[in-house]
Amino acid sequence: MQTSTDIAARLGGQELRRIVYSEKDIAERVDIMGRAIGAHYPDDEPLLVIGLLKGSFIFLADLVRRIPRPLVVDFLGAASYGSATVSSGNVRLVYDPEAEIAGKHVLLVEDIIDSGNTVNRLVPKLRERGPRSLELCALLHKRLAPPLRLEPRWVGFEAPPEFLVGYGLDYSENYRGLPFIGSI
Ligand code: IMP
Ligand code: MG
Is there a domain that residue 11 lies in? no
> CATH number of the domain that 124 lies in?
3.40.50.2020
Question: Which residue range is the domain that position 94 belongs to?
Answer: 24-80+89-162
Is there a domain that residue 168 lies in? no
How many other CB atoms are found less than 10 A from the CB of residue 39? Answer: 10
Q: Which amino acid is at 54?
A: K
Confidence band for 16, pLDDT divided at 50, 70 and 90: confident
Is there a domain that residue 76 lies in? yes
Report the nearest-CA residue for atom 3 of ligand 1: 115
Q: How many domains does the chain have?
A: 1
**Half-sphere exposure at residue 43, Cβ-oriented, CA atoms within 13 angstroms:** 1
* Mean pLDDT (the chain, rounded): 89
Q: How many residues are present in the chain? A: 184
Is there a domain that residue 150 lies in? yes
182 lines ligand 1 (CB under 6 A): no
Of 24-28, 79-83, 134-138, 161-165, least confident by mean pLDDT is 79-83
Q: Residue 115 and residue 107: Cα distance in Å, rounded? A: 20
Is there a domain that residue 98 lies in? yes
Encode pLDDT of 55-104 as tens digits. 999 999 999 999 999 999 999 988 665 555 555 566 767 777 777 899 99
Q: Residue 18 and residue 97: Cα distance in Å, rounded? A: 36
Is there a domain that residue 39 lies in? yes
